[in-house]
Amino acid sequence: MVANITSLGRSGLYDWMVQRVTAVVLAAYILFLLGYFVATPDLSYADWNGLFACTAMKIFTLMALISLSAHAWVGMWTISTDYLKNSVVRFLFQGTCGGIMFVYFVWGIQILWGQ
């Protein structure tokens, strides 16, 4: 059996499941926010701040942030392995995208849980 180093031991079924589960979480988050916008037509900063001050909303947002990161990684990995045949270019592309996604993830956590 040949192991693909860039796939980190994942199977295609695992990637497919990650994409579907994260898509459901992101869809639920977007639908919730759209519902909140519709239910609160005169949205003020105090309303918005109150929504995100709630621990449940912070956890839901964190789930959405984790889902966005996982969804983007699987998608980026799939595209790069399909279209970038040179292993050095693919490694650099994946490393750059992974680094950017990590920075955005940490930045999102800092915004969400920071003071």
List the chain pLDDT tens, one digit each, 115 residues. Answer: 444 544 555 678 888 899 999 999 999 999 999 999 999 999 999 999 999 999 999 999 999 999 999 999 999 999 999 999 999 999 999 999 999 999 999 999 999 988 6
Domain range annotation of the chain = 11-113
CATH architecture, domain defined by 11-113? Up-down Bundle (1.20)
- pTM value? 0.83
**For residues 71 and 88, what is the distance between their CA atoms, to the nearest angstrom?**
23
Nearest to 112 by CA among 34, 51, 29, 41: 51
